[in-house]
């Protein structure tokens, strides 16, 4: 079972490192490798706001690096909670063509959380 958790964290880390780098290319003046969906007014507006998009992509990049480095994984997963929920909701309501991506990220996140269930439950006590 620990291999499943490890694989989920590794994939989640790779997704968020790539997504963070890709998103941070936009404010730096470079063309992103995977561009924002031009048909989504929300995604275009979000990418044009300086502070929100930079903050979100910085959190994604840092948390992804922490997951890949296998350091402070619980903190990284907690930091990614609102990001993962927003990704799922965005693909559920705005970009249904990428719904498989949103569901995949959400499932990987839940699997990763399950690997730290006891530690995270102790935070709620």
pLDDT in tens, 75-115: 999 999 999 999 999 889 888 888 898 999 999 999 999 98
Residue 84's nearest CA partner among 7, 67, 122, 124 is 67
Q: What is the pTM of this model?
A: 0.85
State how far the Cα of 74 lies from the Cα of 80, in Å rounded to an integer: 10
SS (H, E, C) 40-85: CHHHHHHHHCHHHHHHHHHHHHHHHHHHHHCCCHHHHHHHHHHHHH
Domain parsing of the chain, residue ranges:
2-124
State how far the Cα of 51 lies from the Cα of 49, in Å rounded to an integer: 6
């Amino acid at each position: 079972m620990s291999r499943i958790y490890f694989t989920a964290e590794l994939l989640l880390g790779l997704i968020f490192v790539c997504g963070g780098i890709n998103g941070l290319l936009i404010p730096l003046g470079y063309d992103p490798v995977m561009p924002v969906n031009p048909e989504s007014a929300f995604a275009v507006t979000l990418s044009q706001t300086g502070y929100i998009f930079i903050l979100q992509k910085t959190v994604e990049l840092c948390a992804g690096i922490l997951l890949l480095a296998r350091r402070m994984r619980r903190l990284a997963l907690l930091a990614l909670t609102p990001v993962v929920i927003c990704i799922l909701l965005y693909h559920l309501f705005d970009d249904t063509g990428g719904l498989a991506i949103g569901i995949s990220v959400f499932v990987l996140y839940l699997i990763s959380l399950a690997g730290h269930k006891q530690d995270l439950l102790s935070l709620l006590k």
